[in-house]
Amino acid sequence: MAVGGLHEILGDLGNVSEEWDEYDDDQQEFIQNVAIFLTSFLSSHLRLVETSASRASVIQAHQYVLRISQVDERELFKVCLEYWNVLVRGMYEDSRTSSFNAPSGLLNLGSNAGANGASMSADLRRQMYSGILTGVRYVMISRMARPEEVLIVENDEGEIVREFIKETDTITLYKAERECLIYLTHLDPKDMENIMVEKLNRQMDGSEWSWSNLNKLCWAIGSISGSMSEDQERRVLVIIIKDLLSLCELKRGKDNKAVVASNIMYVVGQYPRFLKAHWKFLKTVANKLFEFMHELHEGVRDMACDTFVTIAQKCRRHFIAHQPGEASPFVDEIIANAESITSDLMPQQVNRFCEAVGYLISAQLNTQTQAMLISGLMKPYNDEWNSLVQKVGENINVLEDLNVVKQLGNILRVNVSACGAVGKGFISQVGNIYIDMLGLYKAVSEIISSCVARDGAIATKYANVRAMRTIKKEALRL
């Protein structure tokens, strides 16, 4: 078999990941061609190879692919990842088929006869590849891609905003790795648990501590949500969150604590099944997020708001339900304390908070109660809106004040964010500001037209004109 020839040329490739940068172009190209050859051949002929070649040769071929997977070269890794998905998907489907078709172990006796040309049984394949799959689990965790891309960009109005990118090469890679990890977890959840706890312990003792390593580990932990049994998921998650909280206490320095805190929030937000089953823990998490919204580190505040949105989307009914031992639904408490919770947030972060509360309110099916919740959430913004609109009505020149224009734009943004989350029930709030919004839209349109007529196209770059265009845009969106 070709593996024997490769072994004479390459040895066992034990140090390929460390020595990769020292290879010349020809050596790197040869390794790339080996990866393409092995993954293509095994993808197409694995069943035949398993029954006709020696077990040692099959394992050696997979060892080559595993070691090449460890090389820090994205395109090379993607070639290997595609094969690992083929392998683990096939093994998972085999295990489901065999468990469905063979209620008794006696029925599997004939399927192990590889020498007779029959396919290996699912159990025998899992046993054969167990060492390889353990190695793949380590590789997937260490190479885990970021689950979402967040760019800091300047919008048309000159404001710095965060933009969530839905489709990039990194996100595509994350989805492929997540698929692989989910199959790997189904095939051996205990091994996956042991590896993740071990990797987290290495963060605790400092032997593998780095922001990058912790991020990748937590992205991997979040990616397998729902792939373990509920009991095992509960046990593993309690261990992981406990260790992450200890790590947060252990680390010194604002930035280190911010990274750990952000990862705690990310992991928690990925496990709604656990949160739904444990109300007190869910409430504790929400209150912790509100604490993080006062952190001086802006990245922590962003993560707290994003996680609150995620939890609100997935667990909304639990916030509006009257839980045992509670004086009122938790959403009432959140709305009552909203001004205090958001006191340190930037305008865009306030929008995210109101969006999250909007998702909670959307779960309230009683229209009257829902209208009261909307009114409570929007009251401070309506009070500020009415005050500013009154000043504009008394003196249109107030709109020359850039801060006033920005405040009006921010209030409209809050309405847009909450409206998108609540849905049609938000019509009552829109009615409160609709007439004033139309008047404001007309006023800023006339000012913008006047500026452009006077100064030409350059007027669209003026800060006050860009802020007024925000008012027009958000009014139209609402």
**323 Ramachandran zone, left/alpha/beta (phi>0; psi -120 to 50):** beta
Give me the residue label for tokens 């689990």.
137
pTM for the model stands at 0.82
Other CB atoms within 10 A of residue 432 CB: 16
More confident residue, 429 or 299: 429
Distance CA 53, CA 397 (A): 85
Mean pLDDT score of the chain, rounded to an integer? 88
Q: Of 164-173, 233-242, 298-307, which has the strongest mean pLDDT?
A: 233-242
**Secondary structure (3-state) at 149:** strand
Summarize pLDDT for 327-371 with one digit per residue, the tens.
Answer: 999 999 999 999 999 999 999 999 999 999 999 999 999 999 999
Q: How far apart are CA 371 and CA 224, in angstroms?
A: 38
pLDDT at position 124 over 70:
yes
**Cβ proximity of 61 and 42 under 8 Å:** yes
CB-based contact 153:160 (threshold 8 Å): yes
Residues 62-93: tens digit of each pLDDT: 999 999 999 999 999 999 999 999 999 999 99
Residue 462 DSSP SS3: coil
Assess whether pLDDT exceeds 70 at residue 400.
Answer: yes
Query: Contact 378/415 with Cβ under 8 angstroms?
Result: yes
- Contact (CB, 8 A) for 182 and 224: yes
